[in-house]
Amino acid sequence: MAKNTNNRIAVKWVRDKAKAAYVKQGCCYICSSTSDLELHHLHSITNLLYSWADSLGYDISTDEGILAVRDEFISEHYSELYELVYTLCNRHHVMLHSVYGKIPSVSSVPKQKQWIETQRAKVTGGVVTGRSGLFTQFT
Ligand SMILES: [Zn+2]
Ligand SMILES: [Zn+2]
């Protein structure tokens, strides 16, 4: 509804500003593909932004509102925005979100990491043992 619409706009303002500084790797962390690369944030920007604004009582439902606090948000969430990220190909990115949802919950962060490492190990063919148990463990 109205909140969702505004939600997208506020997040877009943050992405626009922050993306200039993103360091995207040259290939998918999981499969090393070099095409259709996208950046995945372990911490959903939507979750971060809205819980942060709520906790401080900021109104980010308007352009003016979000623009007034955008730099503050970005500087306080440096690691979530720039470090706790993975470069993934579109295929693996879509796969991840089909497992953890469009806006993964904060509590899923360790699980997302584990899932990414597991997929990577499967692709590189090493390390993973007990293959048959993998999916029951991670879905
Ligand atoms: Zn991939
Ligand atoms: Zn993502």
Q: Is the pLDDT of residue 23 over 80?
A: no
- In a domain? residue 113: yes
Whether residue 1 is contained in a domain is answered as no
- pLDDT for res 33: 96
Ligand having the closest approach to the CA of 30: 1
pLDDT at 136 over 60: no
CA 56 – ligand 1 centroid, Å: 38
Residue 63 located in a structural domain: yes
Residue 41 CA to ligand 2 centre (angstroms): 5
By residue range, what is the domain housing residue 109?
8-137
For the segment 37-91, what is each residue's pLDDT rounded down to a tens digit? 999 999 999 999 999 999 999 999 999 999 999 999 999 999 999 999 999 999 9
28: exposed, middle or buried (C-beta count within 10 Å: 0-12, 13-18, 19+)?
A: buried
CA of 31 to the centre of ligand 1 (A): 4
Tokens of residue 82, six digits:
């720039």
User: CA-to-CA distance for 37 and 18, rounded, in angstroms?
Assistant: 17
If DSSP states are collapsed to H, E and C, what string results for 34-91?
Answer: CCCEEEEECCCHHHHHHHHHHHHCCCCCCHHHHHHHHHHHHHHCHHHHHHCEEEEEHH
Could you report the per-residue pLDDT of 101-130, keeping only the tens digit for each? Answer: 999 999 999 999 999 999 999 988 765 554
CA distance 138 to 13: 34
Q: Rg of the chain over CA atoms, in angstroms? A: 17
Task: Report CA(10)–ligand 2 centroid distance (Å).
Answer: 17
Q: What is the pLDDT of residue 17?
A: 86
Residue, of 138 and 27, whose pLDDT is higher: 27
- How far away, in angstroms, is 40 Cα from ligand 2 center? 4
Task: State how many domains the chain has.
Answer: 1
Quick one: pLDDT at residue 126? 61
115 belongs to a structural domain? yes
CA gap 88, 120 in Å, rounded? 11
